[in-house]
Amino acid sequence: MSDRRRDIVIETQDLVRHFSSGGSGRTVRAVDGVSLSVERGETFAIVRESGCGKSTLARLLLRLIEPTAGTVVYEGRDLSSLSPRQMRAARARLQFVFQDPFSSLNPRMTVGTLVGEPLIVHTGLSRSERRTRVGELLERVGLRAEHAERYPHEFSGGQRQRVAIARALASEPTVLVGDEPVSALDVSVQAQIINLMEELKSDFGLTLVVIAHDLAVIRHMSDRVAVMYLGEIVELAPADALFDAPGHPYTEALIAAIPVPRPGREEHGEALGGDIPSPLAPPSGCRFHPRCPYAVDRCTREKPMLETAGRGRLVACHRQKELSLAGVGAAVAAGANEKALRRFELYRQHAEGNAAGSG
């Protein structure tokens, strides 16, 4: 944060969003004091536990919902200070890809209308120009121009996600926010969409913000990662650093919990005990303390602040300096079997050779 030359596209300051829980008068702290800044051209990932208002943060970033407190600053301007018209213009540049492409695409509209709609709103293109542009966009995301005539239900999950991406691209965004953009997809299709998002990122100079729970997907895609627990950021670090040597016990536990596709691997460490506490009544002190294997008395009373812990890393843990936590190393270093790796490579060559051959 000290480096003033960083080119920040989108930034949040002490962002808070509470919901009142139906009639009980209690408060769900879905997002509770989140400050982060996303640099231009990077892929910034936010990891959080499943459940509990997952997409709240994404919606706040796009001002689809209003924060209880705090601000979202986009290209140097506080989103809440924008007039409705300025907000519309900003929203064109801030686009969203949802988890479930079926519920995010109006089933009564053709794909052409869905992808063309932002062009009406955000560009001055004529009808026929829009038609051409829709065709280009569809082809850009790996569909065909004639798919414009079809309806969302005629497509598979992966194809629908391509449609959603084409629609997002139509308004020429600078930032694409993906809320679990691949988690509803099968592994093989997920890989197609991840590749596509990475291609588009470099072709269009996009900044990606990915909110997800799948650490392997995040590891593959991101430059920097923020780990959230019960509405708060507990660690923020460059992806390599975070995965190689986590700074927060929750990050360590997350990494340890991932089932790694390698049989016979020694169990590393204890499974994280306890349940995720209700966001209605987060624990005192450090919210992670009831589940933390390293918790000491202080953690139960005093809330740790998010503090600098080495290069580009922020950690909210009282014991950060004394702990040496296990990263991915142990789980992955063993390396997959040579024979299997050779076949993976052979498969990749053939799969790409064929894809290139078929255009």
Partner 1 sequence: MSVETVEAGGRANGPANAGSGDGATVLRVSDLSVRFAGQPVDTIDGVSFTLSAGRTLCLVGESGCGKSVTSLATMRLLPEKAARITSGEARFEDRDMLRLSRREIERVRGDRMAMIFQEPMTSLNPVFKVGDQVAEAVARHRKVGRREARERALEMFRRVQIPAPERRLDDYPHQLSGGMRQRVMIAMALANDPKLLIADEPTTALDVTIQAQILRLMRTLQDESGAAMLLITHDLGVVADIADEVAVMYAGRIVESGPVETIFNDPQHPYTIGLMSSMPTLGAPKGRLATIPGSVPSPFEFPPGCRFATRCPFAQTRCFSEVPPFERNDDGHGWACWRTPIETIAEAGGHA
Two structure tokens written together for 342: 């050779």
Q: How open is the CA angle 236-240-242, to the nearest 5 degrees?
A: 35
Strand 26-39 versus strand 8-21 pairing type: antiparallel
Site for partner 1, rule CB under 8 A:
49-51, 156-159, 186-192, 194-195, 198, 213, 215-217, 219-221, 240, 243, 253-265, 271-273, 275-276, 291, 328, 331-332, 336-337, 339-340, 342-344, 346-355, 357
Beta carbon of residue 73, minimum distance to partner 1 (angstroms, whole number): 30
> In angstroms, what is the minimal distance from the CB of 212 to partner 1?
11
Query: Do 142 and 156 form a contact (C-beta atoms < 8 A)?
Result: no
Q: What's the alpha-carbon Rg for the chain, to the nearest Å?
A: 22
What are 179's two structure tokens?
């809320």
Of the chain, the end-to-end C-alpha distance in Å amounts to 45
As measured in angstroms, the least distance from the Cβ of 209 to partner 1 is 18
Min CB(188)–partner 1 separation in Å: 4
Q: CB-wise, 2 or 202, nearer to partner 1? A: 202
Query: Please, which residue, 25 or 263, has the CB nearer to partner 1?
Result: 263
Pick between residue 50 and residue 126 the one whose CB is nearest to partner 1: 50
Judged by CB, which is closer to partner 1: 276, or 296? 276
Q: How many CB atoms lie within 10 A of CB 146?
A: 11
Name the minimum Å distance from CB 97 to partner 1.
Answer: 17
Q: According to DSSP H, which parts of 173-280 are helical?
A: 187-204, 215-221, 239-244, 249-257
Decide whether 253 or 316 has the Cβ nearer to partner 1.
253
The minimum distance between CB 195 and partner 1, in angstroms, equals: 5
- The sign of the torsion formed by the CA atoms of 117, 119, 121, 125 equals negative
Beta carbon nearer to partner 1, 159 or 320: 159
d(CA 41, CA 62): 18
32 strand-pairing partners: 16
